[in-house]
Structure 1
Amino acid sequence: MQSKTFISVQEVAEELGVSKSYAYRVVKQLNEELKQQGYLTVAGRVNAQYFHKKICYNERHV
């Protein structure tokens, strides 16, 4: 299975077990952090690797 570069708000909500509205806030916060580091972001999606790093998943779960 090929890993995705970006994950959607729906996928964030499912992985964290939260509402879509809360997942939007998480995605927005993570994208703001990435923008400050000089990265290009996509509204409504977040870099999958950065997301998993920030929520403390290790390599086995990705």
Structure 2
Amino acid sequence: MEGAIYTTAAEMAEMLGISKPYAYKLIKQMNEELDAKGFITIPGKVATKYFEEKFYGVKVTA
């Protein structure tokens, strides 16, 4: 996933040790947050930078 723009539900499930259906639920929630901020989203994927910021508290600036 190094350098990937988006993180998929399968990748998220593997990284966090959760089920794929739960990963889809989390992605949907994050995409709704991004939609509210005016960003374009892709169902089943979430921006990697946003995912890292939400789960690891890391704000990626590059």
TM over 0.5: yes
The CA distance in 2 between the partners of 1:56 and 1:7, in whole Å, is: 14
Shift of 1:30: 0.4
Q: In the comparison of the two structures, how many residue pairs are matched?
A: 59
1:36 aligns with 2:33: no
Alpha-carbon deviation of 1:58? Answer: 3.7
User: Unaligned 5+ residue runs, structure 1?
Assistant: none
Secondary structure of residue in 1 paired with 2:56: coil
In 2: Cα distance, 1:45 partner to 1:28 partner: 8
Match of 2:33, SS state, is: helix
TM-score, structure 1 length as denominator?
A: 0.86
> Cα offset for 1:26?
0.5
Map 1:1-62 → 2, pairs under 5 A = 3-56=3-56, 58=58
Measure, in 1, the Cα distance between the counterparts of 2:42 and 2:3: 17
Offset at 1:55? 0.2
**Per-residue deviation at 1:56?**
1.6
Q: Structure 2 unaligned segments of length 5 or more: list them.
A: none
Q: For the residues of structure 2 that align with 1:3 and 1:37, how far apart are their CA atoms?
A: 24
Q: CA RMSD in A?
A: 1.8
**Cα deviation 1:10-52 (Å, max 9, x = unaligned):** 0010111000010000100000000000000000000000000
